[in-house]
Amino acid sequence: MKKEWRSYKILLTLYITILMLPLGAVFNYSYYDDMKQTAQKINHTTKLSEALLLLSSKTQTKGWDTQLKEIDKNFAQVGEWAKAHSNDADYVGGKTLYKQFELLSHCWEERYQNRVKENKECLKILHSFIFALEKMYLIKQKRFEQMLFITGALILILLLLEVFFIRFYLLYQEEKHAIYDLETNLFNQKYFHAYLQKVISRTKREDTPLSMFFLSIANFHEFDTNQQKYLVQKTAHLLSMVTRDSDTACRYDENHFAVLMPLADSQNAVHLENRMKKAVSQFDFQITPESKFEYKITQFDYNQTEEEFIAQSKN
């Protein structure tokens, strides 16, 4: 169940990350489209300013009516947009956006229909309206940039979480299925129990001797973490140097090592113990305090269980 839950978390973060990409794109596009519409309305109202200047001029240009009709059309579009965005949160004027537009609309209709050439008041209202639109645009632009940053940050965080979960899961699986101890390269406790079960069955079936050599670092907890790691690595190296090809050396736990010796009676096991004692005495571990080791040899009794054999060897 533990493995399934960790796999589920990896898939969940992966699906969320994949889902965030289109959702983030849609969400940001909505802000972008809003900005685009605001920019278009600024352009349309700017053209209205040009129309008001034409009205106030003393000479009429060619295509006068056509120009004014086009401006009137654009102005109507601005009106529809202003009404739809009357309560826009980004509006910073004293009134609502649409009420400000209505003032401008009234002024425009009066001058357009009556061809009034005095447009100072209209121009003032128009410039105020354009200024409000430009402020809205800048606010929307800033918010759009913030949303891009937030969306990108969320996706990055999810990706980092996904990498973390995958790494954690792979390490978990490696530890779960590995048969070697990562620090010493000896067989680990999991392999030791599986192999011991097979060896005991074969020993009973073939009526042959089986010995176990147990080595303990007695003052292991007197050292700091780095010294402990160094000590177990050097001890494992020495142990692998003195064992026979038929022996199986394992790191049983943090400061215990076990060697299974099939077909070895107690006399043969003593030889291994002596070789290991000699190797330890001649090796300079170069750490303080001096490391202390305990050794024990146990001969398997056919009436023992696997657990009893291990307990007898460790005590």
pLDDT in tens, 68-101: 677 777 777 777 877 877 777 777 766 777 887 7
**Residue 115 pLDDT more than 60?**
no
Say if residue 222's pLDDT is above 60.
yes
Phi, psi of 88, deg, nearest 5: -60, 130
Residue scoring higher pLDDT (160 or 258): 258
- For the chain, what are the domain ranges? 2-173, 189-314
Q: What is the CATH number of domain 189-314?
A: 3.30.70.270
Q: Give the model's pLDDT for residue 2.
A: 39
pLDDT band at 3 (very low <50, low <70, confident <90, very high): very low
Residue range 173-217, pLDDT digits in tens = 776 667 888 889 899 998 999 999 999 999 999 999 999 999 999
Predicted pLDDT of residue 283: 94
Report the pLDDT averaged over residues 272-277: 94
